[in-house]
Amino acid sequence: MSFSRTFPLKQPLRKLQPHVLVAVVALMLAFAFLGARGIWDPDEGRYTNVGLVMLDSGDWLNPMRNHETGHWTKPPMTYWAIAASVGTFGRNEWAARLPSALSYLACVWLVWLIARRLVPGEEPMAALAFATMLLPFGASQFISTDFLLAALQALAVWAYIESRAQSSQSGRWLLLAGAAFGMAFLTKGPPGLLPVLVILAHRTLVPPRESKPLHVLGAIAVFVVVAAPWFVAVIHAQPDLLGYFLGEEVVDRFASDDFNRNGQWYGWIVVYLPAIVLGTMPWTRSALRWICGLPREVMSWRDHSRRKEAEADVLLAAWLILPLVIFCVARSRMPLYVLPLFVPIALIVARWRARSNLPIPSLRMLSIWVVVLIGLKFSSSLWSTHKDASEWAKAIEARVPSPPSEVVFVEDMARYGLNLYLSAQVEKVSLADSSDGPFNPQFDSTFLSELHERERDVLYVAKKGRWTEVERVAKEGGFSAVRVGSPYRGRIFFSVTHESDGG
């Protein structure tokens, strides 16, 4: 199969060439105020913290949330990216968010390249649609695994498309697809392979002119070479990790609501419907129009004379629908899970607008929307929230004479983002014994066992409502809890001394 040029090129914008316009818009949206907002816990803080622990310890194999406890919920690719960025550009919010911003730019570029095959002549429209959609824009300013995953999956699908379009070079393109899938697997595990289902469905409905099994085997071999070594190494060191990965991180996330992520039967409506409808703004109408016309396109598939024209629709429909069905069936649901689907949605928008002979919006309208998006980004940097680790860092620095080497949260949400600002280990401990398993426990240890480590320069944080209990547990262990400064956001900062130290 080769994707043919279906739509004619439109006239370029009067003031800017399309590729210049796309580059300017994407770069502005990616980098304006990228470091203006503090790191927000729990997600941004957690991912940043693990990357920093890797960087500080020099252990790039084992993801750790502190020097005592591993963090195995995700493979290491995102942590590697954050650690490399911070190691290169310094310990700041801009560097921590740079991998997300670069992944966003990579997706814009890949949408352009894919549009050359699926929507020829509409490359600027497709790239602009992705760059200016609300959800991709917002996600580009947020630290998570999802944008890196979206970029790697888009790279894999683009390589597959090129392998079909350039049959003489199909082997090389499939090797690239295998490598991209390997890195996607290292980013988020099995969900990184969802586009494989799309490719299989497309190959079934639109068989290639020439089947080359050796090329497919080569792609599989490259995938194994890229993805397997890390898993083999960590499971060899800790054999029980295999059961944890397969059980909790695959089966439980798919089939149970143990992670409290909208696992109700209607959870997919609550999470994914607004994520897609609002997240595709200002292009929602175009995407919905294409979806409404999809049954007609499916029916046209029966007409052999129109099959070649409909081949791109088959791929786009499979790319959007198959992963979305799996996301809806799975009982762990979060809005950013569908972020990779915005690549085919942007292509869908461009394809529908081309069929409807709709031009690229005027420079004025586009400028207004870009200003709105940048304004939203700036406004978020002014929003005061208890999740902002930079505000917690300022509160701590105002209350202690010197930065602590460790901050321990007692029966409270750990602000892992503090590691970026204070270069301090962050721990979370329980007042009573916890029955957590060996991997990713809720608490690193108990409060009393943490006290018995007798570490220096440790600052403790507890809710006001637990202060009496904290004092009692410390006293029973032979320690004395001493308040440090005034409370902050309903929390008490305190240090601990042992009776033998004269406390």
pLDDT tens-place string over residues 309-328: 678 888 999 999 999 999 99
In this predicted structure, the answer to whether residue 298 has a pLDDT above a threshold of 80 is: no
pLDDT of 308 over the 80 cut: no
pLDDT category at 501 given cuts 50, 70, 90 is low
DSSP code of 430? E
What is the arithmetic mean of pLDDT over 423-441? 88
Task: Round to whole Å and give the CA distance between 134 and 281.
Answer: 6
H or E element at residue 428:
strand 425-430
Calpha distance 391→385 (Å, rounded): 8
pLDDT at residue 125, rounded to an integer? 95
Greatest Cα-to-Cα distance within the chain, rounded to the nearest angstrom: 90
As a whole number of angstroms, the distance between CA 453 and CA 291 comes to: 60
Which residue is listed with tokens 């320690």? 479
Dihedral sign for Cα atoms in the order 237, 242, 247, 249: positive
Residue 207 pLDDT: 87
What totals of helices (H) and strands (E) does the chain contain, helices first? Answer: 22, 6
Mean pLDDT within 321-348: 96
Other beta carbons within 10 Å of 365: 11
Residue whose entry in the numeric block shows the structure tokens 């409404």: 292
Q: Tell me: pLDDT of 48 over 60.
A: yes
Q: Where is mean pLDDT largest: 107-116, 201-210, 240-249? A: 107-116
pLDDT reading at 249 higher than 90: no
What is the band of 46 on the pLDDT scale with cuts at 50, 70, 90?
Answer: very high
The DSSP element (H or E) to which 445 belongs, if any, is: strand 445-446
pLDDT at position 74: 95
In whole angstroms, what is the distance from residue 265 CA to residue 329 CA?
9
pLDDT at 304: 62
pLDDT at 111 over 80: yes
Amino acid letter, 33: F
93-118 vs 123-132: helix crossing angle, rounded to 10: 150
Element (H, E) at 271: helix 267-279
Q: At residue 208, does pLDDT exceed 90? A: no
The pLDDT value recorded for residue 254 is: 87
The model's pLDDT over 16-44, given as tens digits with 9 standing for 90+, comes to 688 899 999 999 999 999 999 999 999 99
Instruction: Write down the residue that tokens 């070079």 correspond to.
Output: 169
CA torsion, points 423, 425, 430, 431, in degrees to nearest 10? Answer: -80
Between 258 and 409, name the one with better pLDDT. 409
Residue 88 has pLDDT above 90, yes or no: yes
pLDDT band at 12 (very low <50, low <70, confident <90, very high): very low
Beta bridge partners of 406: 425, 458
- 């547990």: which residue's tokens? 473
Contacts of 305 (CB under 8 A, 6+ apart): none
Residue 443 has pLDDT above 50, yes or no: yes
CA gap 500, 503 in Å, rounded: 7
Q: Determine the average pLDDT of the residues in 136-143.
A: 97
pLDDT score of 303 more than 70: no
Q: Is the pLDDT of residue 243 over 90?
A: yes
The pLDDT value given to residue 8: 41
Confidence of residue 11 (pLDDT cuts 50, 70, 90): very low
DSSP letter for each residue of 131-159: HH-HHHHHHTTS-SSHHHHHHHHHHHHHH
pLDDT in tens, 354-367: 988 888 888 889 99
- What is the pLDDT at residue 248? 87
Q: What is the mean pLDDT of residues 114-127?
A: 95
Q: Who's near 485: CB < 8 A, 6+ residues apart?
A: 398, 399, 400, 493
Distance CA 137, CA 438 (A): 37
The sign of the torsion formed by the CA atoms of 475, 477, 479, 483 equals negative
CA distance 153 to 340: 7
Tell if the pTM clears 0.85, that is, is over it: yes
C-alpha 172/C-alpha 26 separation (Å) is: 29
**Residue appearing with tokens 């991998």:** 99
Query: pLDDT > 90: what percent of the chain?
Result: 79
Q: Which of 30, 77, 41, 18 is nearest to 350 (CA)?
A: 18
